[in-house]
Chains A and B, each alone.
Chain A
Amino acid sequence: ETVMAQSPATLSVSPGERATLSCRASQSVSSKLAWYQQKPGQAPRLLIYGASTRATGVPVRFSGSGSGTEFTLTISSLQPEDFAVYYCQQYNDWPPLTFGGGTMVEIK
């Protein structure tokens, strides 16, 4: 099973600042990595797939990078609606499909 680890668990950022979230896989997942955003009481929303491709309708301030075992989600200038929990998910080696534990981005 490929274990996904996200860091930090919580990230405190001021509006307008940059946020950098990390996701590490226990073995290579190539570029088969997705990022999701989840707000309280809502379902997850797909942001990024293929490690770096934005999903339809996702603002350009969200960008993904990395391959193999190290991945990064960057939010270039945090907007009030971006404060949420972010999850990474690998889809290279399965079953099972696995998610990271999440990073909560909170207002500083």
Chain B
Amino acid sequence: EVQLVESGGGLIQPGGSLRLSCAASGFSVSYNFMTWVRQAPGKGLEWVSVLYTGGGAKYADSVKGRFTFSRDSSESTLYLQMDSLRSEDTAVYYCARVAWDGYYFDVWGQGTLVTVSS
């Protein structure tokens, strides 16, 4: 079964750092583009980052320079390192797989909540 499971969310103070994990099963993260999408409480969906199979990544302007998307292929795990966190980063963070034929998202994890507050 194809599945994504996120973890690592929690309460963090402004300016702090947090690393989210996304464990993949049923497919290889080495051969698929992957993405993070977030959703602030009661709000819509916001794209955060895409990780290419070659290891490079693109980011939304709102997180560029603060977030880093990476993977450990041997463990089929993806990571989102989040630094210099702000209150506006408070959201549920979803890991998702990018489809093979376009940048839409065909498999989603259940999400992990990040709360940035003092």
Total inter-chain residue pairs, C-beta < 8 Å: 64
- Check if B104 sits within 8 Å of A45, measured CB to CB: no
A36 contacts which chain B residues (CB < 8 A)?
45, 105
Contacting residue for B44 out of A45, A50, A96, A100, CB 8 A: A100
- Check if B106 sits within 8 Å of A55, measured CB to CB: yes
Bound form: Cα–Cα A38–B108 in Å: 11
Chain A interface extent, by class: 20 to 34
Bound form: Cα–Cα A92–B107 in Å: 19
B105 contacts which chain A residues (CB < 8 A)?
34, 36, 44, 46, 89
- Check if A87 sits within 8 Å of B44, measured CB to CB: yes
Q: Is B66 an interface residue (CB 8 A)?
A: no
- Most A-side CB within 10 Å, residue of B44, B94, B101: B44
Bound form: Cα–Cα A99–B108 in Å: 16
Q: Which B residues between 52 and 97 are near A, CB-CB below 8 angstroms?
A: 58-61, 94
Q: Is B27 an interface residue (CB 8 A)?
A: no
With A43-B110, A95-B60, A96-B61 given, is the CB distance from A49 to B45 under 8 Å? no
B111 contacts which chain A residues (CB < 8 A)?
43
Q: Is B9 an interface residue (CB 8 A)?
A: no
Q: Which A residues between 86 and 108 are near B, CB-CB below 8 angstroms?
A: 87, 89, 91, 94-102
Shortest Cβ distance from B48 into chain A, in angstroms? 9
- Check if B110 sits within 8 Å of A50, measured CB to CB: no
Q: Which A residues between 45 and 76 are near B, CB-CB below 8 angstroms?
A: 45-46, 49-50, 55
Bound form: Cα–Cα A92–B44 in Å: 20
Q: Is B99 an interface residue (CB 8 A)?
A: yes
Contacting residue for A87 out of B45, B101, B103, CB 8 A: B45
- Chain B residues packing against A (C-beta within 8 Å): 35, 37, 44-47, 50, 58-61, 94, 99, 101-106, 108-111
